Homo-oligomer: A and B are copies of this chain.
Amino acid sequence: MNCCKEKKESLAAARRQEIIRACEELYEAVDYDAISIKEIAKSTSICRSNIYNYYETKEEIFLDILKKEYLLWMEDMKKLLEEDSLRSRSSYCRIIARTARHRPRLLKLISVHYVSIEKNCSLERLTDFKKSMEPFWNMFRESLTVYFPNSSSEKRETFILLAMSLVQGIYSMTSLSEKQLCAMKCANPGYTQPDFEDTFYQALYTLTSELL
């Protein structure tokens, strides 16, 4: 009986995995708006109406992806920070900027995180999400305590807010589509797209001056 229950739960988890995977793949190819539950269902072995047994809306699916991505990013950062023997201001900023660049899916998602994903999901799911994010914020806080022991708690919180703000802002300005790039060059022929990691690193480095 117990085993049976476990089996069923793991089956449900596997279903959710499949849905998430399909959604991730779709998101690689097309934009957030273009994704519908219908499309997601098509990419799985699950029929559309059955998806409603696992997720109410596509936003809830994306919320799960977002959670996963944030936590993966956290793992990346944690690992590199632990391996970092320099413990310097610049190595810290570099690790954050680089691990961010290596999670393009997360970067793309962050831009719709607050404006779209969080709008159309139930309060309950959103609260769960926020709770799941606690380890992420804690890791961030602790790493700052280690690297910048003289910083105030308040300054560290501000830094985190600004760092996360910069991620979405810089990403959307450094990942232009063909059309956007073309329009930019038409209007300003000398335009060259800045590099995400470099720009992010520079900004972080400057902002850490407040933590010394």
Residues of A within 8 A of B (CB): 31-33, 111-116, 118-119, 123, 126-127, 129-131, 133-134, 158, 161-162, 164-170, 172-173, 176-177, 179-180, 182-184, 186-188, 194, 199, 202-203, 206-207, 209-210
Decide yes or no: A177 and B130 within 8 Å by CB, A168-B168, A169-B164 being known contacts.
no
Chain B residues in 8 Å Cβ range of A172: 113-115, 165, 168
Chain B residues in 8 Å Cβ range of A182: 123, 127
Q: How many copies does the complex hold?
A: 4
Q: What's the Cα separation between A37 and B207 when bound, in Å?
A: 43
Q: What's the Cα separation between A194 and B158 when bound, in Å?
A: 9
- A114 near B111 with CB under 8 A, answer yes
